[in-house]
Structure 1
Amino acid sequence: MISLISIFLVFLLLIQDLLLWILLKYHFQDYSKPIEEGSWPRISVLIPARNEAQYLPQCLKALEKLRYPPEKIEFIIGNDESTDQTEAIIKAWAGKEHNRVYVNVSPQKGNLMNGKANALVQLIQVAEGELFLFTDADCEVNPEWAREMVRAFTPEKGMVIGISRVKAKSFWERWQGMDWWLTLSMVKVASDLGQSLTGVGNNMLVSKEAYNSVGGFEALPFSVTEDFELGRAIWAKGYRPVHQVSLLSLALTKAENNVLDLLRQRKRWTQGAMGLPWFWKMALVMQLLFFPAIIYLVFQNFTFGLLLWAIKIFLQMNLMQYYAQKTKTRLPFIPLLFFEVYYAVISWSTIVYYFWPSKIKWKERNY
C-alpha cells in the first residue's frame, strides 16, 4: 500500500512539472505593448527603507538610470525608523532633484499593519502618480524597468508583477535564485491562465485606482505578506493582475546570508501561502511530499526509484532554465544539477521551522 501511494505521489508530481513546462513553453504571454512617447502616465516609485545603508546606494544609483520622462516620474523614499546611515543617504539623494521626495515614516499606533505596510501607506499619501511602482531598498532595477512595467499595464489588470533575480556568486546564493525561478514559474503559468496567485513587493506596479478600490493597506487584514494580501484584494475586486516576465522587467535582489535568515524569510512567505486557493496549496504540498515518497521508492527498488527521481530533476531543470532564459539568464549546470539537494533540505526545514513556536522576525521586528 505504501509503495502504491508513493508511486502515485511521484507520478502526480512528474505530471505537474511536465504540465508546468508545457504551459510555460506554449502558453507564455508577453503583455508589453507599445506606448507613444508623449503618452507616458505619471508614476510614483515607492521604496521604504529600514536599516538599508549597505544596499541603498546601489538601489538609488539604479533609479538614476531609469529611462522615463523626468516630468512624469517621482521617487518617494521613506526612512522607516532606521538606526544606521539610511536617513542621511536618502536625504542627500533626495536633495539633488525636485522629483525626489524624502518621507520620515512615523510609527503606527497599534498593530493594524506590518512595518512595511505602514511605511508604504505614508509614502502613498504623498504620491501623485496614476501608477505606483514598488521595489525594495536592497534591489536594483534596470534602466527600462519603469517603461516595461507601464507598457504591460492596462486599467483592467490593476496590477503588474515583474521578475526578480537573486544576485549570486556562491552555490548557496545560486540555489536561492533557482528556488525563486521555480516558484515564480508557477506564478507565471497561473497568471497566463487568468489566475493571480500573489503580489511581489520588490517588483510590482499597482494603479492608484485599484489600490484605492480596496481601501489601501489600512483596510486589508493584518499580514506579514502585505503584497500577497494586496494582490488577493485587487483580484477580489474584479481586476486581473498579470506577471510580466522579460529582461526589461527584471530587478536584482540580494540573497539571504545564512540558513536562519532564509528560514525566517520562508516562514513569512509560507504564512502568506496559507491564503492561496486549496488547489494551489495542494500543488505545493505535492512538491513537498515528493521527497519522502521518492526516498521510500529508492530503498524499495533502487534503479526504479532513481530513474523516477532523475526524470523529475530533468523536468525541473528544463522548467527553470526555460523560464530564466526569458530574461536572457542562463542557469549554470552544476548548481542546477544539485539544486534538488538544496530544495529537499530547505523545503522540509521550512515546514519544521514554520510550526516551531517562534515569532516571525523581519527587519528587526517580531510578529
Structure 2
Amino acid sequence: MTGFLLTFLLLWLLSMAYATWRFAARRGAHPAQPVPQPLPRVSILIAARHEEAALPRCLASLRQLAYPAELLEILVGDDASTDRTAAVAEAAMQGFAGRFQVILITENWGEARGKANVLAHLARHATTDYFFITDADIHLPKTWIPALLAQAAPGVGTVTGITAVRGPRWFHQLQGIDWLLSLSLVQVVSEQGRPVTAMGNNMLVTRAAYEATGGYEALPFSVTEDFALFQAAVARGFGFRHVFSAEARADSLPMPTWAALLKQRRRWLRGVEALPLKLRLQLLVFSGFWPALAALAWAAGAGPALAVWAAKVLVQGVMAHAGHRRAGLQLHWELLLPFELYTLALTFSIVWFQLFGGAVVWKGRRYE
C-alpha cells in the first residue's frame, strides 16, 4: 500500500515538474504572425446583466486600446438588467470615435439562454469578421486587439488570451494564483495540439468559425457557453491558439465571497463534464493528490507525507512564478503555504457543493 501511494505521488510530482519545464521553456509555443494589414475592423461583444458598477471600468479600458477607434465596433448587450447598466454604458462611451451601441435583449433565440443568448444577438448585429468577446468585470490592456489578432492565422477559429484575478485582499490574491496555475497547465496541453477550453472573457472568434457552428442559437445550451462554442469550432475543423502573455492579459475582478467562488466553480464543472473522457480521467488523477497524501500519512507516518508535500509546494511554486512572470505580474511567495490550505478547502467545498448545492445560479437565474 505504501509503495503504491509513493509511486502515485512521485509520478504526480514528475508530471507537474515536466509541465513546469515545458511551460517555462515555452516548448511548442505558436509564433506570432504579423497583424493583418491593412488593419481590419473588429467587433467587441460584451454581455451585461446588472453590471452598472463594473461596466464603466471595462469600457474605460476599451477606450484606451492601442487600436484605431474608427476600426472598433463595441456592442453591449443589456440582458434585462434592472439597474442602470444601459445608462452607465451610454455615459461611459460618450464621444467615442468608433461605433458603439447598447442592444436591449428581450427574447431568446433558438437554443440560446443567458449569456449565450446575448452573444447570439450581438453576433447578429456585428458587422466585422473578428469577434472579440469579453465580460463587464474585465479590464483589458492597450495591446489586447493586436495580441490576439497576431495569432489569428488562416484556419484558426478561436484565440484565447489569459485572465488574471487581481484584488487587494489575500482571498483575492489566492484566487489569482489559482487562475494562473490552472491557465499555465491549460497552456501546456493546448500547445501540444489538444483542445481543452477557452476563456469567454478574453477570446477572439472569427466570423467564419462562429457561423460554421450555426451560432449560439443553434448550439445545445450550456452554462459554460465559451467552452461550448470552442468545442463546436474545433469539431468543424478550425484551429485554436492560446496566448499566455502580458499583452493578452485581461484582469478580472475577484469573487467577493467564498459562496460566490463556489457558485462560479460549480458552473465551471458543467464544462468539465463535457470534456473528452481521457481528459476527465486525467483531471481525476490530478485531483487525487490530497487523498493520496492523506493515505500516505496514515500508512507511513507524517515524515514521508511532509516530504512529498514540500516537494509539491516547491514545484508548484516554480510553475506559479513562471506563470506570473509571463503574465507580467509578480508572485507573492509568502502566499504559497496559505494557497495549499485554500486549494484543500476549495476541493472539499466543491465536492460538498456539487452533491448538495442544488441548481447552478448565474446572474440571478437558475439553471437546472
Normalized against structure 1, the TM-score is what? 0.95
Which residue pairs with 2:235 in the alignment?
236
Which residue pairs with 1:194 in the alignment?
193
SS in structure 1 at match of 2:223: coil
CA deviation map 1:185-207 (0-9, x unaligned): 12101111111211210000000
Do 2:244 and 2:326's aligned partners in 1 also have CA atoms closer than 8 Å?
Answer: yes
Do 1:79 and 1:90's aligned partners in 2 also have CA atoms closer than 8 Å?
Answer: no
| TM superposition shift of 1:116 | 0.2
| TM superposition shift of 1:176 | 0.7
Give matches, 1:63-212, under 5 Å.
Answer: 63-97=62-96, 98-108=98-108, 112-212=111-211
Segments of 5+ residues of structure 1 without an aligned counterpart are none
| TM superposition shift of 1:94 | 4.5
Which residue pairs with 1:270 in the alignment?
269
- Note if 1:286 corresponds to 2:285: yes
| TM superposition shift of 1:157 | 1.3
Counterpart CA distance in 2 for 1:185 and 1:358 is 31
Counterpart CA distance in 1 for 2:178 and 2:151 is 25
Give matches, 1:286-365, under 5 Å.
Answer: 286-299=285-298, 300-356=300-356, 358-365=358-365
Do 1:191 and 1:242's aligned partners in 2 also have CA atoms closer than 8 Å?
Answer: yes
CA deviation map 1:108-163 (0-9, x unaligned): 278x3330000011111110111000110000001111111111211311110001
Q: In 2 relative to 1, CA 124–92 (structure 1 residues): closer, same or farther, beyond 3 Å?
A: same
Counterpart CA distance in 2 for 1:80 and 1:91 is 15
Do 2:162 and 2:244's aligned partners in 1 also have CA atoms closer than 8 Å?
Answer: yes
For structure 1, which segment, 283-292 or 221-230, has the greater mean C-alpha deviation from structure 2 after superposition?
A: 283-292
| TM superposition shift of 1:10 | 1.4
| TM superposition shift of 1:80 | 0.9
Do 2:158 and 2:206's aligned partners in 1 also have CA atoms closer than 8 Å?
Answer: yes
Counterpart CA distance in 1 for 2:21 and 2:201 is 28
Amino acid at match of 1:280: L
Q: Structure 1 vs Structure 2: percent identity of aligned residues?
A: 33
| TM superposition shift of 1:234 | 0.8
CA deviation map 1:256-279 (0-9, x unaligned): 111111111000101111111223
Do 2:112 and 2:120's aligned partners in 1 also have CA atoms closer than 8 Å?
Answer: no
Segments of 5+ residues of structure 2 without an aligned counterpart are none
Counterpart CA distance in 2 for 1:278 and 1:186 is 18
Normalized against structure 2, the TM-score is what? 0.95
Amino acid at match of 2:67: Y
Counterpart CA distance in 2 for 1:78 and 1:56 is 12
Q: In 2 relative to 1, CA 28–174 (structure 1 residues): closer, same or farther, beyond 3 Å?
A: farther
SS in structure 2 at match of 1:35: coil
Counterpart CA distance in 2 for 1:343 and 1:283 is 18
| TM superposition shift of 1:28 | 5.1
Do 2:174 and 2:342's aligned partners in 1 also have CA atoms closer than 8 Å?
Answer: yes
Amino acid at match of 1:44: S
Counterpart CA distance in 2 for 1:103 and 1:256 is 27
Counterpart CA distance in 1 for 2:31 and 2:217 is 30
SS in structure 2 at match of 1:217: coil
Which residue pairs with 2:14 in the alignment?
15
Do 2:109 and 2:120's aligned partners in 1 also have CA atoms closer than 8 Å?
Answer: no
Counterpart CA distance in 2 for 1:79 and 1:90 is 10
SS in structure 2 at match of 1:248: helix
Q: How many residues align?
A: 364
SS in structure 2 at match of 1:128: coil
Amino acid at match of 1:333: W
For structure 1, which segment, 11-20 or 88-97, has the greater mean C-alpha deviation from structure 2 after superposition?
A: 88-97
Do 1:53 and 1:89's aligned partners in 2 also have CA atoms closer than 8 Å?
Answer: yes
CA deviation map 1:197-244 (0-9, x unaligned): 112100000000000011111121111100001111111111121101
Amino acid at match of 1:108: N
* CA RMSD after TM alignment: 1.6
Amino acid at match of 1:169: P
Runs of 4+ in 1 over 6 A off after TM superposition: none
Which residue pairs with 1:43 in the alignment?
42
CA deviation map 1:58-90 (0-9, x unaligned): 111101001112232110111111111111112
Q: In 2 relative to 1, CA 50–31 (structure 1 residues): closer, same or farther, beyond 3 Å?
A: farther
Counterpart CA distance in 1 for 2:215 and 2:258 is 34
